[in-house]
Structure 1
Amino acid sequence: MDLSCFKAYDLRGRVPDQLNPVLAEKIGRAYVEVTGAKKVIVGYDIRLSSPEIAEALSSGLMAAGADVFDIGLCGTEQVYFATSHYKMDGGIMVTASHNPKDHNGMKMVGPESRPISSDNGLNEIRDRVLEPFADAAQQGSYEPLEVMSAYVDHLLGYIDAASLKPMTIVCNAGNGGAGLVIDELEQHLPFEFVKVHHQPDGHFPNGVPNPILRENRAATADAVIEQGAAMGIAWDGDYDRCFFFDENGRFIEGYYIVGLLADQFLRKTGGGKVIHDPRLTWNTLDLVKAAGGEAIESKTGHAFIKQRMRDEDAVYGGEMSAHHYFRDFAYCDSGMIPWLLVAERLCQSGQTLSSLIDARIEAYPASGEINRTIADPPKVIAAIEAKYSVGAKSVSHVDGVSIEFDDWRFNLRMSNTEPVVRLNVESRANIPLMEEKTKELLAEMDRLNEEG
């Protein structure tokens, strides 16, 4: 049996050769045997293959003796929400997020929506799939569960409704599931939503919902300009990531959103801890300190950030990849809470999104993440570190290598999944310096790669 769909954090693969109903049923059985779960939430995204895979998964869960609570078509964060809110033993979301339309997958959590990854159960589930199964003495039951109303109530709890004012917001669901939530939220908010690619459609008529791809951004940006909107928001397919456009239709790097959300959240909580990834840090450190919070660095990746948030009881965590995590959301990531907080900030401050962001870009200009295919990543990273650590103010290995000088810094790290090295550079209020150092580092990486 092909088990190549099992990855480090979740399952993803082509349907039907890497993931299909037969395998999904076995995964359901294995999940129960490995975790001991008795009550499990199941949800699925808008992909055409999702209902069938979710149904087979549920059959396996029930055959192994677990009760299934089916929340139907939803986003990943609703599985997280339902698992923790209803105090279930676990949850499984059938989704392949922003992968091509003929792919599918699963994201798994345990009690309190703690992630199940390769280091805490996912590999055991994979290995258990290969063994024969016997049905449980007592079959599990099946129950549909409506979670949208409780979930929407929870989302609205993050903002002060009285401070909101009418404004126009462009929202682009990319024909994923986010539109269903916007339609529910709309009834409670004074905003006018301009809806782009709004209908859930697993055929992805406008391309795979992944706003990281430059070619996918124009639809949102153009609508913002045409409609004179205050901002634009776009999501990936299972809407656990959201992306922002200012009132000029400019796409905003996720790094600056982390700082903005940390600041907005700390204003509400009057302090607390914020977890951030090590790729770009100075803007976040500056804003968190000014808002009376404490910034704590964590290795990149949702399992690491969620665990660190729990360890530190952090109120918020953010990655520049557009994942935003919230303590009161079971330490999980949400693609809905961030835009509500940004909209609230626009209403409260009376400022435009561009003016809030421009000041930060000027203070800490950044290269954005640049990927380079490298034959021998560890060797190239080691050579760069040896060269640049001379005279550096600090060298850190929280994730890859981060090297800091007085007026600029960079992070270089390997991809977990491909022979790619990822570079991020930032400076203190000096765009030419940031650009010069970025160019210099890329040239050095290319030279080292050619030398082999």
Structure 2
Amino acid sequence: MGRLARITKAYDIRGRVPDDLDADLAERLGRAAARELGGPELVLGRDMRETSGELADAFAAGVRAVGVDVADLGLASADMVSFASGRRHAAGVMVTASHNPPAYNGFKFCRPGAEPVSLDTGLADIRDGAASPPAPAATPGGYRSLDLWDAYVAAVRAFAGEHRLAGLHAAVDAGHGMAGLVVPRVLDDLGVTLEGRYLDLDGSFPAHPPDPTDPANLEELQALVRACGAHVGFAFDGDADRVVCVDEAGTVISPSVTAAIIAARLLAREPGATVLHNVICSRVVPETIRARSGRAVATRVGHSYVKATMRETGAVFGGEHSGHYYFRDFYGADSAAVAMMVVLDALAETDTPMSVLAAPYDLYASSGEVSVAVDDPDAALAQAAALLGPDGHVDRTDGFTVDAGTWWLNLRLSNTESLVRLNVEAADAARMEDARDRALAVLAPFETTRR
């Protein structure tokens, strides 16, 4: 159980290959997952990492060993696996380590119908089952390749008025990840000029890490947008379920601002609908939802929590500040490709620059996420709550949030490391910096390092 416990995270299984994760363990995880997730068929996809093929083959062997059929998508994005799970009402597994370095790999899981799986809704059982995997079935499951590209592309395009997109110019940095396979197919024949960088699949990520939330990884896209005169730029992560936008001047658009733009678009189509936002989204997101007569519901950070709340509430959309965007009409899955289409549709319909489209939502000063390594995370959070709580209204949806009116901050524990994560937002930079520095001073006695 040692390495299984180490690589089982809050929402997935992820570790270094082969030190933490190898073909033998992948086979055992396949047997355990097939038994836990249920159903006669499991849809399997993989990213472009050098170890993904071997791990996918071993996982599929484990699934088949316990009598469950494998429908193999081959190379796919994470949202394509979710789409296939929803469309076929089958369990789904994606072999990927998302934005992690090349030495890592792992598995994301969903139940039939793209129902999310987290540590307390089945992932722990898969972990434990892999330690003592089920015995082989008398009759092994079957195997077949599954091609859903046409259906997937049609479902993504349905979120935009295709006829309006002609004439748009989009720059894309796929970071050698799965967006390099997805985006050209989605935009093909729509009249959108695509200026692509790093569209070729390469799991060694020679250009830069596939993490669009790191500003350093956006610099080439910013320069490309300015150089080619694109209306907008999009940067994707490794498995293409996150996206960050850049405007026509090369300025990075906050993922919260993008969430507000998408929320406004979808509420215009469905007035009064419920829209989700996680607790570290800018307050402009719930303000936008309410201003358009929608119902704003805050969730914990993390895709399994957002997806579960979406199912409970029937929310039409959910946004996370990390660049994950969830769509009810896409089986509740997070899809960077769908988010891209909604943004392109907004640009085409309004006939305004991206900077003008974003400006009404860019209202607050933000600290960005500050991660503080501490020797006792629980004690650090308790001390912060005791000292900062009296400043405003306290909410415990995820960690500790205090809202003082002109500023708010959230402190929460990392799910995987001995870290406290701090996010601060205020009406202006001076208030934001004051609140941020006060919070960091409270954490200082517990701090080991900061990033």
RMSD: 1.7
Structure-2 residue corresponding to 1:374:
374
Which residue of the other structure, out of 4, 7, 10, is the alignment partner of 1:8?
Answer: 10
Equivalent residue runs for 1:40-439 within 5 Å: 40-88=42-90, 90-131=91-132, 133-361=134-362, 363-392=363-392, 394-428=393-427, 430-439=428-437
- Aligned counterparts of 2:220 and 2:281: Cα–Cα separation in 1: 28
Q: Specify the SS of the correspondent of 1:119.
A: helix
4+ long deviations beyond 3 Å: 447-450
Asked if structure 2 preserves the Cα contact closer than 8 Å seen for 1:29 and 1:61, the reply is yes
Q: Specify the SS of the correspondent of 1:389.
A: helix
- Aligned counterparts of 1:385 and 1:18: Cα–Cα separation in 2: 36
Q: Deviations over 1:348-405 (max 9, x none)?
A: 11222222323322x322222222222222222222222222252x111111111112
**Change in 2 beyond 3 A, CA 1:391/1:251:** closer
Deviation at 1:252, TM superposition (A): 1.9
**Change in 2 beyond 3 A, CA 1:283/1:126:** same
- Aligned counterparts of 1:438 and 1:227: Cα–Cα separation in 2: 38
Deviation at 1:125, TM superposition (A): 1.8
Q: Specify the SS of the correspondent of 2:358.
A: helix
Asked if structure 2 preserves the Cα contact closer than 8 Å seen for 1:306 and 1:332, the reply is yes
Which residue of the other structure, out of 8, 21, 30, is the alignment partner of 2:23?
Answer: 21
Deviation at 1:113, TM superposition (A): 0.9
Q: Specify the SS of the correspondent of 1:421.
A: strand
AA partner of residue 57 (structure 1): F
Q: Specify the SS of the correspondent of 1:112.
A: coil
- Aligned counterparts of 1:379 and 1:119: Cα–Cα separation in 2: 24
- Aligned counterparts of 1:284 and 1:186: Cα–Cα separation in 2: 28
Asked if structure 1 preserves the Cα contact closer than 8 Å seen for 2:9 and 2:416, the reply is no
Deviation at 1:281, TM superposition (A): 4.2
- Aligned counterparts of 1:142 and 1:448: Cα–Cα separation in 2: 53
AA partner of residue 295 (structure 1): A
Q: Deviations over 1:137-176 (max 9, x none)?
A: 2211111110111000000111112333412111011001
Deviation larger for 148-157 or 199-208: 199-208
Deviation at 1:442, TM superposition (A): 2.3
- Aligned counterparts of 1:409 and 1:28: Cα–Cα separation in 2: 44
**Change in 2 beyond 3 A, CA 1:380/1:406:** same
Asked if structure 2 preserves the Cα contact closer than 8 Å seen for 1:253 and 1:368, the reply is no
TM-score between both structures, scaled by the size of structure 2:
0.95
Identify unmatched segments of 5+ residues in structure 2.
none
Q: Deviations over 1:212-245 (max 9, x none)?
A: 2232111111101111111110111100101111
Structure-2 residue corresponding to 1:446:
444
Asked if structure 2 preserves the Cα contact closer than 8 Å seen for 1:280 and 1:426, the reply is no
Q: Specify the SS of the correspondent of 2:119.
A: coil
Deviation at 1:55, TM superposition (A): 1.1
Asked if structure 2 preserves the Cα contact closer than 8 Å seen for 1:280 and 1:411, the reply is no
- Aligned counterparts of 2:446 and 2:56: Cα–Cα separation in 1: 47
- Aligned counterparts of 1:307 and 1:300: Cα–Cα separation in 2: 12
Q: Deviations over 1:160-200 (max 9, x none)?
A: 12333412111011001111112212223221010101101
Deviation at 1:337, TM superposition (A): 0.7
- Aligned counterparts of 2:336 and 2:292: Cα–Cα separation in 1: 23
Q: Specify the SS of the correspondent of 1:336.
A: helix
AA partner of residue 376 (structure 1): D
Q: Specify the SS of the correspondent of 1:276.
A: strand
Q: How many residues align?
A: 446
Deviation at 1:298, TM superposition (A): 1.0
Deviation at 1:208, TM superposition (A): 2.5
Asked if structure 2 preserves the Cα contact closer than 8 Å seen for 1:12 and 1:105, the reply is yes
Asked if structure 2 preserves the Cα contact closer than 8 Å seen for 1:402 and 1:409, the reply is yes
TM-score between both structures, scaled by the size of structure 1:
0.94
AA partner of residue 216 (structure 1): N
Deviation at 1:326, TM superposition (A): 0.6
AA partner of residue 394 (structure 2): V
Q: Specify the SS of the correspondent of 1:99.
A: coil
- Aligned counterparts of 1:290 and 1:320: Cα–Cα separation in 2: 20
**Change in 2 beyond 3 A, CA 1:100/1:232:** same
**Change in 2 beyond 3 A, CA 1:280/1:124:** closer
Deviation larger for 231-240 or 282-291: 282-291
- Aligned counterparts of 1:396 and 1:10: Cα–Cα separation in 2: 27
AA partner of residue 397 (structure 1): R
Asked if structure 2 preserves the Cα contact closer than 8 Å seen for 1:280 and 1:410, the reply is no
**Change in 2 beyond 3 A, CA 1:364/1:213:** closer
Asked if structure 1 preserves the Cα contact closer than 8 Å seen for 2:38 and 2:111, the reply is no
Q: Deviations over 1:64-84 (max 9, x none)?
A: 101110111011111100011
Asked if structure 2 preserves the Cα contact closer than 8 Å seen for 1:280 and 1:424, the reply is no
Asked if structure 2 preserves the Cα contact closer than 8 Å seen for 1:254 and 1:320, the reply is yes
Q: Deviations over 1:325-344 (max 9, x none)?
A: 11011111111111111111
Asked if structure 1 preserves the Cα contact closer than 8 Å seen for 2:260 and 2:285, the reply is yes
Asked if structure 1 preserves the Cα contact closer than 8 Å seen for 2:242 and 2:335, the reply is yes
AA partner of residue 383 (structure 2): A
Q: Specify the SS of the correspondent of 2:225.
A: helix
- Aligned counterparts of 1:160 and 1:225: Cα–Cα separation in 2: 26
- Aligned counterparts of 2:413 and 2:28: Cα–Cα separation in 1: 33
AA partner of residue 219 (structure 2): A
- Percent identical pairs in the alignment equals 36
